[in-house]
């Protein structure tokens, strides 16, 4: 089941999967306890208390096949009521994970932050010059 | 042989519907003549503006630019004057292959999908992809593409050497693209496949004058490339059983281009755009006195106080300025002919969460005219080797399938997924 809810309804038995890298501290400010997903070496999933994870400043890295597989393994070995997925308004990684969780019949609540359009939504600075040249060749700019 | 996908979308970038019909009838594309008799071909309207990035995004999401957030190849980063180049990360709506419907998708060369994003299936990005490793998902597929010398686009610098070398390269790229499709088709089973040919757009941009002039030494080379495209279509369609729903689409039409007109030069000369002196003028050089500016291809933005750091234009004056700009552009002429066919208001065109990022005005060019939005204001009419331009009207939509479907009239790029859903070739969006 996939639903949307405000962050205040996060429960202590949830696994909070924060794909934004910023949402955990906001949850903590709301006074909620819980656990947070952390990823060691970019490959292995671990569960940490939400406060500890927030204090450590650790961030969930961009999803890859290794830790996606590790997450599914972790969930199957852990008593988890629900996964709370926190993502920016449109994040294909979140869509993909949401689909995987739904397929595994794991209750999932997705919280999406409203978003603007910032520099991260565009071609990276190091690629801009090459893109400029390609677009110029085709007369687009 | 693996089972065929239940839906196949064949994209042919920049193919006008009338040209496909004409080439089929004139035996330039003999297989297409046979194919077109088995389905329905209608002209389709492109996105606004009629630029590939926005149009393909609409085709694969079913939304207009205010829904998917792609208004062109460039845009300003919110709240800044920094020019950003749109990419797969700029998408704010799911393409149909990311709906998590359990289906397995093969997606090849769709523009605006670079860098490749995760999906259930395989994707190789289209224009503007810079390097193959970041264009391929999953990474395990990379050796397959490398092994056949796959390239995401033609070498556009070849046009500076000669038209012959340029067209030779288009043939090479098409050949490897079709070979990659064959390999992937043989390697796995797919619920849907989307495959886009982009050489047609490149050819039309640079050799349109040769297409229109039967006496041009490159006229036959133009036709021969379309003959090769026809063979590629035959190779694909011959593998599809009757049960497979086939859509053939293009993102925009094409027409002759004689003048590339810099809209910012006009806005400047009419007092709407003011720039501080700069060696390399850019949006950041706009002074607070600026009331309006343009971005490629014909997007005009009011310099609003609530959107831009130096904007001084308040909402209560926006309508008046929009009208003044409209009048100035509508009456502007080159060689005694207007440059604008019509001017649309963004508020009337766009619907979606990103409508706040939409242009205030969209310029529809008159015959022979293409628009640019350069901040280098030295030339009104710019010199370019490009002699073919996109059109809003007359892109291509072809449907062949067993289900009866109602094709919207006018058919628009945003309606492609709707027809697929009607044909039960794609589950309805959640």
For B117-130, what is the mean pLDDT? Answer: 94
User: Are domains B7-252+392-424 and B258-382 of this chain identical in fold?
Assistant: no
pLDDT in tens, B207-241: 999 999 999 999 999 999 999 999 999 999 999 99
Fold of B258-382: Gyrase A; domain 2 (3.30.1360)
State yes or no: pLDDT of B120 exceeds 50. Answer: yes
Give residue limits of the domains in chain B.
7-252+392-424, 258-382
Structure-token match 């005005």, residue found? B361
Q: Own/partner pairs for B19-25, CB < 8 Å, 24+ apart?
A: B19/B254, B20/B396, B20/B398, B23/B223, B23/B226, B23/B230
- Please check whether residue B73 touches A, CB under 8 A: yes
Where does the pLDDT of residue A10 fall: very low under 50, low under 70, confident under 90, or very high at 90 and above?
low
Distance from CA of B368 to the nearest CA of A (A): 15
- Structure confidence at residue B352 (pLDDT): 84
pLDDT at A127: 87
**Quick one: closest CA in B to A64, which residue?**
B118
Q: State the CB neighbour count (10 A cutoff) for residue A16.
A: 26
Task: Please check whether residue B412 touches A, CB under 8 A.
Answer: no
Q: Is the model more confident about B55 or about A121?
A: B55
Q: Is A129 on the interface with B (CB under 8 A)?
A: no
Do A117 and B372 make contact, defined as CB atoms within 8 angstroms? no
Which residue would you say has higher pLDDT here, A1 or B362?
B362
Instruction: Name the average pLDDT for chain B.
Output: 95
Q: How far is A52 from chain B (nearest CA, A)?
A: 30
**Nearest residue in chain B measured CA to CA from A123:** B85
pTM of the model: 0.83
Pseudo-torsion of CA A111, A117, A123, A126, nearest 10°? -100
Residue with tokens 């409209």: B326
Q: Around Cβ A104, how many Cβ atoms within 10 Å? A: 12
Going by C-beta distance under 8 Å and a sequence separation of 6 or more, which residues neighbour residue B385? B159, B206
Kindly determine whether residue B94 and residue A135, on different chains, have CB atoms separated by under 8 Å: no
| CA dist list (Å): B9 to B2, B76, B82, B107, B152 | 18, 32, 36, 9, 18
pLDDT score for A66: 67
**Rounded distance between C-alpha atoms, residue B349 and residue B71, angstroms:** 12
Cβ–Cβ of B374/A141 closer than 8 Å? yes
Confidence bin at A68 (pLDDT 50/70/90): low
**Is the Cβ pair A123, B102 closer than 8 Å?**
no
Confidence category of residue B427, pLDDT binned at 50, 70, 90: confident
Least confident piece of the model among A38-52, A100-114, B195-209: A38-52
- Amino acid A37: pLDDT: 58
**Would the CB atoms of A134 and B354 count as touching at under 8 Å?**
no
Specify the pLDDT at position A53.
Answer: 41
Using an 8 Å CB-CB cutoff, list chain B residues near A135: 73-74, 85, 128
Residue A141 pLDDT: 72
- Taking residues B355-375, what's their average pLDDT? 96
pLDDT score of A23 = 53
Contact A123 B85 (CB under 8 A): yes
DSSP 3-state assignment of B93?
Answer: coil
Band of residue B141 on the pLDDT scale cut at 50, 70, 90: very high
Can you give the pLDDT at residue A46?
Answer: 58
Nearest residue of B to residue A93, measured between CA atoms: B118
Cα B34–B232–B175 angle (5° rounding)?
165
Spell out the CATH class of B7-252+392-424: alpha beta
Quote the minimal CA–CA distance from B330 to chain A in Å: 23
Neighbours of B299 (CB within 10 A): 26
Is the pLDDT assigned to residue A59 strictly greater than 50? no
Number of residues that this document lists for chain A: 141
The answer to whether residue B36 scores a pLDDT higher than 90 is yes
The residues, ordered by sequence, that sit 6+ positions from A76 with a Cβ below 8 Å of its Cβ are: A104
Distance from CA of A137 to the nearest CA of B (A): 6
């Amino acid at each position: 089941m996939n639903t949307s809810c405000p962050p205040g309804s996060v429960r202590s038995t949830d696994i909070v999967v924060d794909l934004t890298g910023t949402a955990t501290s906001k949850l903590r400010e709301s006074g909620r306890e819980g656990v947070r997903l952390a990823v060691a070496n970019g490959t292995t999933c671990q569960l940490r208390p939400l406060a500890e994870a927030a204090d450590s400043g650790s961030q969930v890295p961009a999803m890859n096949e290794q830790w996606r597989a590790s997450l599914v393994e972790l969930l199957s070995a852990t008593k988890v009521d629900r996964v709370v997925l926190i993502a920016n308004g449109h994040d294909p990684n979140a869509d993909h994970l949401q689909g995987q969780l739904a397929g595994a019949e794991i209750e999932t609540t997705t919280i999406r932050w409203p978003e603007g359009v910032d520099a991260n939504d565009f071609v990276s600075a190091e690629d801009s010059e090459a893109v400029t040249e390609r677009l110029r060749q085709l007369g687009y700019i | 042989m693996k089972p065929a996908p239940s839906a196949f979308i064949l994209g042919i970038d920049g193919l006008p519907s009338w040209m496909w019909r004409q080439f089929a009838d004139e035996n330039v594309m003999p297989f297409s003549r046979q194919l077109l008799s088995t389905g329905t071909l209608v002209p389709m309207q492109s996105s606004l503006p009629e630029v590939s990035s926005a149009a393909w995004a609409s085709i694969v999401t079913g939304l207009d630019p205010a829904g998917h957030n792609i208004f062109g190849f460039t845009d300003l980063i919110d709240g800044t004057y920094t020019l950003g180049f749109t990419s797969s990360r700029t998408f704010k709506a799911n393409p149909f292959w990311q709906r998590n419907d359990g289906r397995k998708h093969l997606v090849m060369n769709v523009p605006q999908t670079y860098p490749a994003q995760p999906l259930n299936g395989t994707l190789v990005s289209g224009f503007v992809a810079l390097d193959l490793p970041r264009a391929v998902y999953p990474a395990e597929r990379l050796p397959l593409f490398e092994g056949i010398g796959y390239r995401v686009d033609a070498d556009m610098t070849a046009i500076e050497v000669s038209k012959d070398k340029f067209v030779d390269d288009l043939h090479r790229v098409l050949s490897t693209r079709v070979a990659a499709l064959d390999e992937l088709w043989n390697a796995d089973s797919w619920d849907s496949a989307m495959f886009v040919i982009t050489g047609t757009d490149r050819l039309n941009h640079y050799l349109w004058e040769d297409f229109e002039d039967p006496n041009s030494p490159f006229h036959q080379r133009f036709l021969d490339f379309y003959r090769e495209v026809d063979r590629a279509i035959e190779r694909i369609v011959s593998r599809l059983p009757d049960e497979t729903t086939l859509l053939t689409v293009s993102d925009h039409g094409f027409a002759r281009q004689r003048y590339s007109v810099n809209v910012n030069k006009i806005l400047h000369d009419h007092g709407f755009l003011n720039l501080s002196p700069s060696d390399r003028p850019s949006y950041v050089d706009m002074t607070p006195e600026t009331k309006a500016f343009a971005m490629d291809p014909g997007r005009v933005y009011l310099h609003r106080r609530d959107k831009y750091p130096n904007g001084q234009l308040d909402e209560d004056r926006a309508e008046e300025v929009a009208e003044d700009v409209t009048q100035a552009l509508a009456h502007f002429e080159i060689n005694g002919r207007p440059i604008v066919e019509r001017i649309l208001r963004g508020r009337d065109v766009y619907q979606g969460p990103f409508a706040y990022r939409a242009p205030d005005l969209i310029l529809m060019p008159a015959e022979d005219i293409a628009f640019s939005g350069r901040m280098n204001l030295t030339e009104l009419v710019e010199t370019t080797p490009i002699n073919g331009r996109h059109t809003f009207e007359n892109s291509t939509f072809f449907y062949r399938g067993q289900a009866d479907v109602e094709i919207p009239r006018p058919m628009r790029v945003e309606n492609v997924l709707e027809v697929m859903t009607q044909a039960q070739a794609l589950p309805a969006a959640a």
